[in-house]
Structure 1
Amino acid sequence: MPVPVSTSAESFLSAHIHGKVLAANKGDAWQGVKAVITESTACGELLDIPPVSEPYLVWFISGESEVHDREKGGPWIRSIVKKGSFFLSTGGEPYDCRWRALTPEPRVIMHVLLDLSLMKKAYEEVYGIDATHARPRDVSGGEDSQLNALMEQLRDELTRRKASRLLVSGIAQAVAIHLVRKYSALTQQSNSTGSPSLPGFKLRQITDWMSKNLAEEFDLATLSEIAGLSKFHFHRLFKKATGKTPSKYHIDLRMSMARKLLRETRRSVVEIALEVGYANPSHFAKIFRRETGLSPSDYRQLR
């Protein structure tokens, strides 16, 4: 079955949550939030996950796992998760996910989706008239003690025979405000399309940092932290904004500087390789030939 472009909270929790269901929201207490607790296998098959409009929280109750996720056709992004870890997804494109247990404990997870009207109220309370300019960010394998406490309360209500409508509503509101306060930010301009984007000022901040640190080893985690996004979603939004993956952009910066140094200086190829971040001159020469069609020495002779 093809992965839908997007799906509703109800359909997502009924059709796209894998594993044995241990508890699920029932009754009219669950008006602004949907939740399911599952126990999954030690090793997960490749799953196709469609995006949902609602913020989607995955909170780990027990077990330690190695999780890999990726946008369709993109590189796998690895995270280590344990009790208290969480993932936050705020929409986007369908993605793939797989995992492997690292401990013998059961892999128990709570899946939570917050109602869009509740999130809208939270944005309006936190940002006022600027609410439409605020954008959420995604988190992979995060740790958050305050969110942990709220999730524990929500889990307790989910496992009761009859949940309290007032308490569930209060917890959901507290979660919504916490997510908006801690995991969103104002962009310099609104995104009229409503689709996820990397703001121009944030893109400049990241590319400037890459230019100043091009000799450093490429590290997707560092760049995504600067952007305030999960590695998975940063990779997607950066490619959408520049037409290149972050790693390819980094290589292009290095090659541009290498060409400049080969043209404008008499420094040796070994020195230039070190200057742009390659400790192994043979590897530098291989990358340079792949990117330009010439060896560094042949390129220098053309100046």
Structure 2
Amino acid sequence: MATLGQPSRSDHHERIPAHKMPDYLPATAHQPFGQSLNSQVQVQIFRHRTTQQSLMIPAVAEPLLVLIVSGAAVIEERIGNEEWTATPVAAGDFFLTTSPLPYEMRWQTQSDGGFEVMHVYLSQHLLDLAARDIVSCPDGVQRLREVSGERDPEVTGLMRSLYHEVTSSPQASSLYLQGVGQALAVHLARRYGDGSEPSKRMNALPA
């Protein structure tokens, strides 16, 4: 876990692999609930409790989607010495980030039960396949824009399918995860590619 005032790989703007993200979340503030580390689609589920400790979260190598599964919270975030930005979130809100920069965050839950979130990391390979299939990308590389606190029924439905697969079976199907991941990649390429229309809420970092 990296805390303020301590050197970490994020100080050098290095990206970490997705499976290392739990190392940067405090044991006192979160409980891992489930995960599947498929090579193309990685899923992590956490139950968070309130933390006033500022956490330095590194950038990850893979594009990251975060869905608020249940509960509600107010999340404060900032990059560097910028002002804190507070964002209320509730079940159904999702975030998308591909930023190479680490960020600082803390959160206040709206109930003693905390809130549950799911992280989904899509491989760049899946996104590049989507780019070549449906988007006019000469280099075949899909670049996505940042999204914060947006609601998208298709994103929510696909991510909840991943949630159900990971939590309802002792061994999640890699084929199923990859199929849903491909559908997510196509939808993201169509709606959230660099050239698509910006979303209305762009004022926060991923939770």
Verify same fold: TM over 0.5: yes
Paired position in structure 1 for 2:189: 180
Q: Letter of the aligned partner of 1:174 in structure 2?
A: A
Do the aligned partners of 1:9 and 1:113 also contact (CA within 8 Å) in 2?
Answer: no
User: In the TM superposition, what whole-angstrom CA distance separates every residue of 1:40-77 from its partner, at most 9, and x where no partner exists?
Assistant: 11234211011123111111111111111111111112
- Aligned residue among 164, 189, 193 for 1:156: 164
Distance 1:131 1:66, change over 3 A: farther
Paired position in structure 2 for 1:116: 124
TM-score by length of 2: 0.83
How far apart are the structure 1 equivalents of 2:94 and 2:189? 16
How far apart are the structure 2 equivalents of 1:74 and 1:173? 36
- Aligned residue among 75, 78, 83 for 1:75: 83
Paired position in structure 2 for 1:230: 202
How far apart are the structure 2 equivalents of 1:63 and 1:8? 28
How far apart are the structure 2 equivalents of 1:79 and 1:124? 35
Do the aligned partners of 1:137 and 1:230 also contact (CA within 8 Å) in 2?
Answer: no
SS at match of 2:181: helix
Paired position in structure 1 for 2:145: 137
User: Unaligned regions of 5+ residues in structure 2, if any?
Assistant: 1-5
Q: Letter of the aligned partner of 1:231 in structure 2?
A: N
Q: How far is 1:179 from its partner?
A: 1.3
Do the aligned partners of 1:67 and 1:79 also contact (CA within 8 Å) in 2?
Answer: yes
Do the aligned partners of 2:64 and 2:121 also contact (CA within 8 Å) in 1?
Answer: yes
User: In the TM superposition, what whole-angstrom CA distance separates every residue of 1:216-247 from its partner, at most 9, and x where no partner exists?
Assistant: xxxxxxxx85xx772247xxxxxxxxxxxxxx
How far apart are the structure 1 equivalents of 2:127 and 2:52? 31
Do the aligned partners of 1:122 and 1:177 also contact (CA within 8 Å) in 2?
Answer: yes
Do the aligned partners of 2:150 and 2:201 also contact (CA within 8 Å) in 1?
Answer: no
Paired position in structure 2 for 1:23: 34
SS at match of 2:187: helix
Do the aligned partners of 1:54 and 1:91 also contact (CA within 8 Å) in 2?
Answer: no
User: Unaligned regions of 5+ residues in structure 1, if any?
Assistant: 188-201, 203-223, 234-303
The structure richer in helix per residue is 1
Which one scores higher on RCO, CA 8 angstroms, separation ≥ 6? 2
Distance 1:133 1:58, change over 3 A: closer
Paired position in structure 2 for 1:90: 98
Q: Letter of the aligned partner of 1:55 in structure 2?
A: P
Cα RMSD, aligned residues only: 2.4
User: In the TM superposition, what whole-angstrom CA distance separates every residue of 1:136-194 from its partner, at most 9, and x where no partner exists?
Assistant: 1111111111111111110111111121222111111111111111111339xxxxxxx
Taking only the aligned residue pairs, the percentage that are identical comes to 27
How far apart are the structure 1 equivalents of 2:62 and 2:130? 13
Distance 1:76 1:104, change over 3 A: same
- Aligned residue among 109, 112, 135 for 1:127: 135
SS at match of 1:54: coil
Do the aligned partners of 2:127 and 2:142 also contact (CA within 8 Å) in 1?
Answer: no
More divergent stretch after superposition (7-16 vs 137-146): 7-16
How far apart are the structure 1 equivalents of 2:128 and 2:16? 17
Q: How far is 1:134 from its partner?
A: 5.7
How far apart are the structure 2 equivalents of 1:65 and 1:158? 24
Q: Letter of the aligned partner of 2:203 in structure 1?
A: K
